[in-house]
Each structure stands twice: as C-alpha cells, then as structure tokens.
Amino acid sequence: VVGIKVSVYGATGYTGYELYRLLKSHPMVEEVILKGRRTGRLSDFFPTVFEDAEIVPFEEEDDSSVAFLALPHTVSMEHVPALIGAGKKVIDLSADYRFSDAKIYEACYGVSHRDPANLSRAVYGIPEFFTEDIKGSHLIGNPGCYPTSVLIPLLPLAHERLIDENFFVFVDSKSGISGAGRKARENLHFPELYDSFAAYGVWNHRHQPEMEHILSKVAGCNLRVRFVPHLVPMSRGILSTIYFRVKDEVKAMNLLVDFYEEARMISFVEKLPSTKDVRGTNNLLYTFRNEGKEFVVISVIDNLVRGASGQAVENMNVVMGYEESAGLPSLPLFP
Amino acid sequence: VVGIKVSVYGATGYTGYELYRLLKSHPMVEEVILKGRRTGRLSDFFPTVFEDAEIVPFEEEDDSSVAFLALPHTVSMEHVPALIGAGKKVIDLSADYRFSDAKIYEACYGVSHRDPANLSRAVYGIPEFFTEDIKGSHLIGNPGCYPTSVLIPLLPLAHERLIDENFFVFVDSKSGISGAGRKARENLHFPELYDSFAAYGVWNHRHQPEMEHILSKVAGCNLRVRFVPHLVPMSRGILSTIYFRVKDEVKAMNLLVDFYEEARMISFVEKLPSTKDVRGTNNLLYTFRNEGKEFVVISVIDNLVRGASGQAVENMNVVMGYEESAGLPSLPLFP
Amino acid sequence: VVGIKVSVYGATGYTGYELYRLLKSHPMVEEVILKGRRTGRLSDFFPTVFEDAEIVPFEEEDDSSVAFLALPHTVSMEHVPALIGAGKKVIDLSADYRFSDAKIYEACYGVSHRDPANLSRAVYGIPEFFTEDIKGSHLIGNPGCYPTSVLIPLLPLAHERLIDENFFVFVDSKSGISGAGRKARENLHFPELYDSFAAYGVWNHRHQPEMEHILSKVAGCNLRVRFVPHLVPMSRGILSTIYFRVKDEVKAMNLLVDFYEEARMISFVEKLPSTKDVRGTNNLLYTFRNEGKEFVVISVIDNLVRGASGQAVENMNVVMGYEESAGLPSLPLFP
Amino acid sequence: VVGIKVSVYGATGYTGYELYRLLKSHPMVEEVILKGRRTGRLSDFFPTVFEDAEIVPFEEEDDSSVAFLALPHTVSMEHVPALIGAGKKVIDLSADYRFSDAKIYEACYGVSHRDPANLSRAVYGIPEFFTEDIKGSHLIGNPGCYPTSVLIPLLPLAHERLIDENFFVFVDSKSGISGAGRKARENLHFPELYDSFAAYGVWNHRHQPEMEHILSKVAGCNLRVRFVPHLVPMSRGILSTIYFRVKDEVKAMNLLVDFYEEARMISFVEKLPSTKDVRGTNNLLYTFRNEGKEFVVISVIDNLVRGASGQAVENMNVVMGYEESAGLPSLPLFP
C-alpha cells in the first residue's frame, strides 16, 4: 500500500504537535508536511524532538491529500477556500466550520464569517455519530474538546428526542491546563494554578452555544445547555458531569448502554471512569446514574487526542475509507 | 488573660494535626493536650515537628475545658458521654453528632447510635448561621467538609424558603486528596491520582443526606440534594458548583449578596474564586450567576480548615465567647 | 512475516502493564500472554483497559518464545531455570540476574542466589553498549532504572579508562513516584508527596553497587559511586546529575559527543534536557558541562520505558535480530 | 507595647505578598505600608485578599521605621540611599547589597553598582550566623534562596576551616517554581512543567558566586562552589544536596550536630528531611551522611519564607532587638 501525504497547518502548538505525533506513526501516512507562520525546525519549538522536521511557510505549495488546520479561530477560514480549491480534504480544528449557521458563529466569536459558502457544506466531525456525512465530505469542522465529551454520549438521546427540553442540560466540565493552549499567560503560570482549582467562563464559554447548536439540530427542538468549565491542576484530560432529565428512562438507559456497542473507541462502562483511563488515546468512556427520569452522565476523554488531534485523525480515516482507529493508540499511558 | 486548656482526641491524622497547628498559636489557648489510640511523640507521626509534643492515651485524665474529637465515625460516640459528664465542652469532627435524628444517622452510617441522649442536644456547628444555638451548647457536631461548602451559601436561601423544592439541588463538588484522610490506600497512591481526575460516590456519598437533612430542617420542607464529589489531584481545597432553582430571584440575589456582610470569614465576591484564595485559612468565598430563577453558586474553602479543624476552632470561639476569628489566619498561603 | 508469542510474568504492576502496552503494538509480536500470581482480567487491575486480556497462572504452560519477568527480586530466580530449560529467551526485569558475581548480589539483597549457574551466563542488558553479548544470549538481566540513566552516558568513558578512579562519582538522581512501584504505602500516599521533595536511601540504595559493579567491570578498575536518589512529586521520569573527574578532558568530550551517534534512541544534546522530552519513549538524552577535568553529565529517561519495560523490549529486539527500535515510540507524549 | 510601622516596596510579587502575610500578624508591627510601581488595591494583584490594602507609589513619603525592598536586582539600589538617608533600617531582598565587593556584583549582574558607599556598609543577612553584625546594621542584604539553604549548614564548617579547598563543593539544588517569580514566561507555563523535571543554569547561575563569595570570606581562603539548580514541578520549597570534603571528619560531624543547637528555627535532624516539613515556616532542617572525610549535607527550606521574606522578617527582628522568631510560624502547613 502506498501511503498519502498530509499537511499540518500550525505545527508549534499542542494540537499541532499531537497531530504530528499521531500521523508520524499512522500506517497509511507516508509523509507529514509541517507548515507554520513561524518556520524553522520542529525542535526549535519542542524540546528535543527525536524525529526532527522542517516547518515550512503556509504559502509553500505541497501535494498533500489531506490538510489539518491547527490554527486559531478566524485564521482557518483564510486558508480553507484555497485548500478546498486545490482539491484537498480539509480537517479544521478551529471553530470556523463547526456551525452550519454563520449567525451563530458570528454571535459567538464576534466576527463575521468570511467563507460562508464552504461553511454551509462543512460537516461537524463526530465520526461515530455523523459517519455517513463525513464519508462524503471535503471539509470537516472538528469539534471543540468540551463539546466532544458531552455530545458523544448525549447525541443518541437527542436524536431519539429523549432529552426533556423543559429542563436545562447542566454541563459541569473539568479540564487539564493543556486545553488552554501553549501561550504563556499570567493566570496559567505554574504557581498560580498548582494545588488550586477554579471555574471560569461560567455560562458564557463559547462551547456552550456549540453544544446547544448541535444538540438542538439533532433533536429537532431547542435544547438549552448551561455550561461551567473548570481548570484542574494537571496537564491532560477532560471529565464532564452532565445533569439532565429524560422523557423515558428505560429507552434512555438502553440507548446509553447499547448505542456505541460497535464503536471501537467509545465505551459505556459501569465503573466510574477517570481521565487517566484514556490518557494519550482517542477513547471516550462514559457511565451514567439515574433516579427515574433524572440522569447524570459522566464522560472522560484526553482533551488533546479525542478532544482535538486524535478525533481529527479519525475524521481523516473516515473520509479516506481507512479503518476508523488506524494510527490511534488504544492503550493509555499509565500511570 | 489566662488561657484555657484544650484536648485533641486523635492527633495523628490530618485534621488532628491541623487542630494542633491552629490551637498552638491561638491567643486564648494556654495548652494543647494531645490524645491518641497510638501514643508517642507527635514527631513520630509527622515529619520533624518543630514544637514537639507528647501524645497520651485517651484514658488519661486531663483538666481541659474543651475537647476536640478528630476521630472516625462511631468512635466519637464512645468518648462523648464521659467528656460531657466531666463538664467539658465537646466539639466532634466525626459525623456522630451531626444528625438530630438518629434514624438518618443509622440509615446513612449503617450502625445504631449509642448515645441518643446527647445526640438530641447536639448543635450543628456552622458558626455564622447557628450562632445562638452554638453559644449555649456543650456539644457541637462539626459539619462535614462538603456540606460546609454547600450549606453556608444555601442556608440563608433555605431559611427564607427561596429554594424551589420542585427541583433538585445538584451539587457538583471537587476536593483535594487530603479530604480522604491519611490512611494509605491503593486508589490514593500517588501515581494513580497524579495527572488524573475522577468522580466517586455519585449520588450515594454520606454527605448527601447530611446536606438534605440540614437544608430541609432549616427550610421547613423537603429539599432534595443530588451530590457528585470528585477528586482533584492536589492536596487541599474544595470547590462546589451548586445548581438550583429559586422562587424569587430578586430576593435570592439580595440575600446572597448581603446575608454574610458582617461575617469576617465569609465573603460574597464577584470574581470567580479559586481554592488557592483560601488555602490555610478559615475563609469561605462564594459567588453566583443566574438566569432568571435558575442559579449557580460557586463556593471555595480549605477542606482541612473551614471544612474541619478551623471551623471547629471557630465553634470553640463562639462557645467560649471569644472573638469569632481568634486564632484563625485570614491571609492564605499563596502560592 | 509471522510474529512471535511472548509472555509477561507479573502483569499487574506498572512495568507489567507497560510491557503489555508496548508489546501489543509491536510489529513482530503476534500474541502477548499475561501471567500472574493473581489471575483474572487485566481490567480488574487496570482501569478500563480497552483491549482486555486474561491473566493466567504462572504454572500454565505456553508456547511463547520470549518471556519477560516483571517480578520482585528473588521471585524471578524461582522461574528462570524452568523457562531457560524450556528453550525460551528470558528477559528479567528484577535484580536477580544483573550481577555476574553472586556475592555482590547477596551482599546487596541479603539473600543467597538460588540459580548461580544461569547467573553466570546472564548478560547485563544495555542494548546499545553490550550489543554483541546480548545478541547471543538466552538470559538478559534488565538494568535498574537509575543505573540505566547513569551507565549509558558513563560506560564509554569507563571503557576507555577516562574516569579518574581517585575521585568519587557522585550521582544525584531524581525520580517520579512510579519508580516506587504500585503498592500503596503511607509515604507514597498522595498528600504526603504532593508539593514536596525529599531524598531517600542516601549512599545505601541498592542501585549504588549495581552502578559500581558494571562501571568497574567495564573500566577494569575500582570505580566508586556515591548515589543519592530523590523523589519528585510527579509520575514518570528520571533525571540524573552526575559529577566526576576525568583523566583527559578532550578525549572525554569527544567520546561523550560521538559515541552514540549511530544509536537511534540515545542522543547527546546541547540544550539541557527535561524528563518531559522523553515521556513514554525509550529515548535517553544527555548533555554535559565541564571545567577542565571536572565534568557534570545530565541525563533523562522515562523510568518505566527506558528504565524498565522499553529497554526490555529493546533487548528482545536485539536478541531476536529485529530492528533495535521496533515497537518503541520515538515521539514523547507532550505535554 | 506600641508596634512599629514598616513599608514593603514591591508588593505585587510572591515575596512582597509573603512579607505582607507575615508582617500583618507580627506582634510588634502596627502597620504595613505597601508601595509599588503599580498602585491600586492589593486585591487587584492577588485573588481575593481578605484584609485588603492600598498600594501607594514608591515616591509617597511615610513614617515607617523599617523598609523591606522586594524589588528586582538593580532597582533596589535606586531607592536605598534615600531610605537610609531618611533614617530607616533597610532590608533588601534583591542581590544589590549581598556582595561586599562591587566588582563581584558587577561581574555577576553585568551592571555597575551605583551605591558603593552603602554597599560597603551592608551586612549579609543570615541572622543566626552574622547575628552581631546584623544587630548594629542599617542595611541588610537579604540572601538568595539557594545560598540560604547552602550557607546555613556550611558556614560553621567554613569558619573553622574544615572544608577542604582542594576539592569542589558540589551543590545540587532543587526548587519549586515560585522561586522563578510571578512573571509569566513560556518555560513556566503550567503544562510545560507539570510531570517534568529539568536542570537550568548549570555552573553559571548567579547564586554560584554568591555562595563562593560568602563561604570564602568566612573561611579566609578560596572555596570553589559548582552549582546545579533544578526545577521541581511544585510551588514551594528548596532542597539542596551538597557534596564536599572536610579536613577533619570528627570536628565536622560535631559542628554539624551542635552548632545550631540554640537556634529556634534551624535544626539538625537525623531523618532525611522533606520540603513539606518546613512549608510556610522560616525553619531550616538539615542532615548529613559521611564516609570518612567525604560528606553529603541535605537541607530544606521554604524558598519564599526562609529563602526570602521570612528571613527578612527575622533580620528585622534581630535589628530591632525583638525575639528572633517573632511573627514567624513554627508549624508547617501540612499536608
């Protein structure tokens, strides 16, 4: 089998490096081309990378089949039209192609969308749920880390209209600090966070409308999400504790237990999962408890793998017709 | 002024040491007598204690005025009758005297209560809320760490019957590992917890009925709490994120802002508080957000100080007529 | 190519799991047989292992070609004779086959060696240095984690008799807590270690004679090592800071820069390396500084990979004639 | 007793806050005046300070008796002449007044000293060793954090000329991240440091000449220190492992055991100390091991207390004739 060439736009952040790490050992990938605003050797940006690589300018042409965009919001949409035009499949890790409706994007990110044509054709990339849409797509909006942890367990319920829209869906999420990106900021300075825990963005984080938008679209009715993210003094992992009410508890229980039975990288578990159970993997584990119609779902992911770069690779796998889990490690780095 | 003598039962655990640390520099305390099942020097149990002290057997008589019991559940009630009989004021940090109703205790802890007479006279020790009851009391049931973080902000609302009993109160709490005590267990082994996050005791933790019992008693109606605790890979601190619905949002907002205005160690704050803001102190900080009648309250405490030993010292202060904050540091150890 | 079968004795500890993780994705390994004193599913011992596996009793026969022993000291030598007798290649991660001289073993571990015949034939498994010996061997004594970090950079110097035996070699090592194993102990309880740092086993740790033995044997003279290990409040990684004097600084510098140039998983680097640079990999990075004949070498490894299971896999690769780095990830999990 | 007024220059960093924390509860201090380049409320710079305070401009006059300067190197010497001129006692936490010889300062910090007159009169502030000098002084150069951990145990040996000057003193120190200050930098970003360990400034850190200068001056001969600092992924604490050779081991052992017997805040201990044993206190613990004339000393301090602000307060105590340990907590915050 001859492998493909892929390019990674934005190679110097955490998700860019994680894409590199996963794609370098992907059985179907022959070459990984790194592109950046800042160029140089990858080892200039990462401590002693063993398999070093050159980062070339964005503008430099290449013959990759798939382009991964690990770029900030609003920067992605400057590059996508040309990449699509060049016949590449594009998987965008920013928020630029997550909302089918440009108005929601604009309300949420405070800028007008400059590529509405492609936006309307983009597919939201939860590979196990929107599989068929992704298969035929040229442009995937890779989901946010928090939404991934919430939507995977809840979408089957939303689709069957089992979530009671008369109640809020309360999402209480906890994330390792790598989710805040690689840029040094005073509030992310080591001693400010160590041995400490806090919430941020209460009910006004940008992932709240993302969850509401996708859940409501799938449910066909207006589901209201109220989201509180918290920062855990650790590097990796997201755990979401999700409170909601269903219309039929027996159907909900069955769906939660059965829906992802065939999925190799999503698992309903009885024991309470920990973020360490999925570290370095693309797996999502979830469990639930209920009292009648009142449910709590608990899910865990690695925010940089399933929450970003790993899911992006999985989306490539689906788009290209590879095995869903190709190149994605299934065993966590433990401890 | 001549200070008093106090005794600490159970000196080798985290809360026992914390009592010692606080009481040794308390301006009204002349002597701290340490008692334990395991005797010896305090430095046998704690690395290099500078002001070393002898731990004497439980049985040894002493002339302390106040006894602090940092003992496991069910052990406290073996000691309390004799201590009360000897005319001492007793502040019990176990769960043995937290429930005015022995049946709830028995359902929750799975043993029959062996001291129902004193139980019926015990006062639940939230010093800023049950001040008058505590003043005249000989026996204080010191609250659990999680309930402290939840009840302080919610009790004023409960008392004014502002919490809507038709909805659950969802309590999503996150605690440092010291809350699990000092005994080594496989699940608390350092590498099993480091860089990881998980929930435990979902909707069946013993602090759930404690919160329900106190809230409902104060509200005069049945409030239902559903509680999910989580372990944060850090040593100290609890943050609770509390979701509930009120009957009148204006009254609720005013009460949340104003109720503790005079309290020196409880503060409503506008910014989102972090556990680091209260480390090593007896302070509780809380804030809230709401959308109409839907509220989220976020509170932080140091689980070993306000959540245990510091609140116990404050209860002594109230019982003895000292200044409420005597001996309690107001500035956190930062960072 | 048809892969081989391998067995792992002692599957429930950290190194056993790490062997499983690496071997499961090894391109030349067809099947991994797990064996233990405690049997059951691997997921009984590890949180939610995705690719679950059965742990069978030690006694159960199998047709593996290579046996990895992740067993405590003294337990390995009970199993090795039979395994060798059955024609298997054995890679032992305990200390039982690290010393060619039984007397040193006995002085160090306080027990008599019960398999001296095999001991005398065992090879000390630093694959890049003792390559030829390992190739023809049936029994490899896999090095200790600390010695690995020290011997790899120093053996070339010892071999060329460049280390001045009139001075001590001071080894100041710092290790993550996973090096202490998986068994819960009070001093490894999470809150006892978090936000704290300490030394242990000063000048009397068992790895001190291991380093002295190998270094001296290779140097052909008596080199004296004085070793101070420290525990870092983190999970993984060892950094060793090594102080020594050489006889000829130019030769020493050249050797340090050049010796491992061809080794894919060992690298001299100019920048100061961090344990994070090698996390989850079998790589060793080292650098040095000198003032005349006075040298300091700094090396980093992942204690569970290069310091244990990864080096064991590499030893298998050499023994079996596979590519040295087969099955060993080269890019660290970062951050 | 009427207390004094003190001022703190540079109130928004870690050492400035720590000075505030300690001085606010100091029994002889009536008022703490905070001064800064950046003015405002203390709570603008620290999360929710309970006892809030105003930070006034440097220029504003005040009637404090003692001025603490928690300022960057080179900034202190701009303020000291005027403060001394105004009759205040000055305790400077920067390096500006640590070297009696301006040339060493200039070689080390790369700038010329602009206040040589005061420099020549400044006293190096290790209160238990230079007690008499400090008593009569108006200007104290408060020692660096690493030098404090090294000099306190070694100065008595140096003074008795017991350290063999023919060998290097190798200092291998490990520090929590708060020692790097409060300014956000990419290499101090939380995920870059978490679960990782590295050295920095090998043999070229500015504290190396500081240790050499003081040790040599006290010894009356040229002692050579080679210093390797490391960053531990934790907030607070320094542990130094110090290797050196003595001329007479019996005298050295006796001196190490006995010298600080009367000091309330310095203790020789037999067990290996941990940084947690001194957290939040001004205590220094040390132990040693030796083989003949070869010694290793291990010492621990809290870098922000004994390594900076606590020692500064102790210096004030000595200068003002207060009890040495006044205002300094003796029991660590544990865990």
pLDDT tens-digit map of C291-331? 999 999 999 999 999 999 999 999 999 999 999 999 999 99
Assess whether pLDDT exceeds 70 at residue A1: no
pLDDT tens-digit map of A272-328? 999 999 999 999 999 999 999 999 999 999 999 999 999 999 999 999 999 999 999
**Considering the entire predicted model, what is its pTM?**
0.97
Q: Does A233 sit within 8 Å of D191, measured CB to CB?
A: no
* Chain D residue numbers touching B46 (CB-CB < 8 A): 334
Assess whether pLDDT exceeds 80 at residue C147: yes
Q: What is the pLDDT of residue D1?
A: 60
| Arithmetic mean of pLDDT, B51-68 | 94
Q: Report the chain B residue with the minimal C-alpha distance to residue A168.
A: B294
Q: What is the pLDDT of residue C2?
A: 77
Q: Does B198 sit within 8 Å of A272, measured CB to CB?
A: yes
When pLDDT is cut at 50, 70 and 90, the band that residue D49 belongs to is confident
Assess whether pLDDT exceeds 90 at residue B36: yes
Assess whether pLDDT exceeds 80 at residue A204: yes
* Chain D residue numbers touching C234 (CB-CB < 8 A): 194-197, 233
Q: Does B178 sit within 8 Å of D50, measured CB to CB?
A: no
Q: What is the pLDDT of residue B232?
A: 98
* Minimal CA separation from A169 to chain B, in Å: 11
Q: Does B285 sit within 8 Å of D48, measured CB to CB?
A: yes
Q: What is the pLDDT of residue A49?
A: 83
Assess whether pLDDT exceeds 90 at residue C48: no
* Chain D residue numbers touching A234 (CB-CB < 8 A): 194
| Arithmetic mean of pLDDT, D43-53 | 84
Tokens of D151: 């000099």
Q: Provide the strand spans (E) within D37-152.
A: 40-41, 54-57, 66-69, 89-92, 123-124, 139-141
Q: What is the pLDDT of residue D282?
A: 98
pLDDT tens-digit map of C77-105? 999 999 999 999 999 999 999 998 899 99
Under 8 Å between Cβ of B206 and B95 = yes
Q: Is any Cβ of chain C less than 8 angstroms from the Cβ of B185?
A: yes
| Arithmetic mean of pLDDT, B284-291 | 98
H-helix or E-strand spanning residue D147: helix D145-159
**Annotated catalytic, D145?**
yes
**Helix B14-24 vs helix B310-320: angle between axes, to the nearest 10 degrees?**
50
Assess whether pLDDT exceeds 70 at residue B1: no
The mean pLDDT value of chain D amounts to: 96
Rounded to whole angstroms, the Cα distance separating A331 from A323 reads 17
Assess whether pLDDT exceeds 70 at residue C4: yes
* Minimal CA separation from B188 to chain C, in Å: 6
Q: Does B172 sit within 8 Å of A196, measured CB to CB?
A: no
Ordered strands of the B123-124 beta sheet: B40-41, B54-57, B29-36, B4-9, B66-69, B89-92, B139-141, B123-124
The one catalytic residue in B145, B151, B232, B300 is B145
Scanning B5-44 for CB atoms below 8 A from C yields 14
| Arithmetic mean of pLDDT, C209-237 | 98
* Chain D residue numbers touching B271 (CB-CB < 8 A): 47-48
Q: What is the ipTM of this complex?
A: 0.96
Assess whether pLDDT exceeds 90 at residue A129: yes
When pLDDT is cut at 50, 70 and 90, the band that residue C1 belongs to is low
When pLDDT is cut at 50, 70 and 90, the band that residue C76 belongs to is very high
Assess whether pLDDT exceeds 90 at residue C110: yes
| Arithmetic mean of pLDDT, A63-73 | 97
Nearest to B184 among C14, C178, C189 (CB): C189
Under 8 Å between Cβ of D145 and D176 = no
* Minimal CA separation from B165 to chain D, in Å: 33
- Pairing, β D284-291 against β D266-268: parallel
**The amino acid at B279:** R
Nearest to B334 among D46, D281, D285 (CB): D46
Cβ partners under 8 Å of residue A102, min gap 6: A112, A113, A116, A119
H-helix or E-strand spanning residue A211: helix A207-219
Q: What is the pLDDT of residue C47?
A: 74
Q: Does C279 sit within 8 Å of D195, measured CB to CB?
A: yes
Under 8 Å between Cβ of A50 and D227 = no
Percent with pLDDT over 70 in chain D: 100
Which subunits have 3 or more CB–CB pairs within 8 Å of chain C? A, B, D
pLDDT tens-digit map of B166-205? 999 999 999 999 999 999 999 999 999 999 999 999 999 9
Q: Does A191 sit within 8 Å of D182, measured CB to CB?
A: yes
Q: Does A168 sit within 8 Å of B234, measured CB to CB?
A: no
Q: Report the chain D residue with the minimal C-alpha distance to residue B16.
A: D334
Tokens of B173: 């709490």
Long-range contacts of D257-261 (CB under 8 A, 24+ apart): D259/D156, D260/D128, D260/D152, D260/D156
Q: Is any Cβ of chain D less than 8 angstroms from the Cβ of A194?
A: yes
**The amino acid at B304:** L
Backbone angles phi, psi at C21, to 5 degrees: -55, -45
The mean pLDDT value of chain A amounts to: 96
Q: What is the pLDDT of residue A2?
A: 77
Under 8 Å between Cβ of D319 and D271 = no
When pLDDT is cut at 50, 70 and 90, the band that residue D48 belongs to is confident
Q: Report the chain D residue with the minimal C-alpha distance to residue B181.
A: D335
The mean pLDDT value of chain C amounts to: 96
Tokens of A62: 């290449």
Residue holding tokens 């500006």? D96
Residues of C carrying an active site annotation: 145
* Nearest by Cα to C30 from C60, C58, C64, C53: C64
Nearest to C184 among B182, B189, B234 (CB): B189
Q: Does B193 sit within 8 Å of C178, measured CB to CB?
A: no
When pLDDT is cut at 50, 70 and 90, the band that residue C30 belongs to is very high
* Minimal CA separation from A128 to chain D, in Å: 30
Rounded to whole angstroms, the Cα distance separating A172 from B243 reads 10
**The amino acid at D5:** K
pLDDT tens-digit map of A140-191? 999 999 999 999 999 999 999 999 999 999 999 999 999 999 999 999 999 9
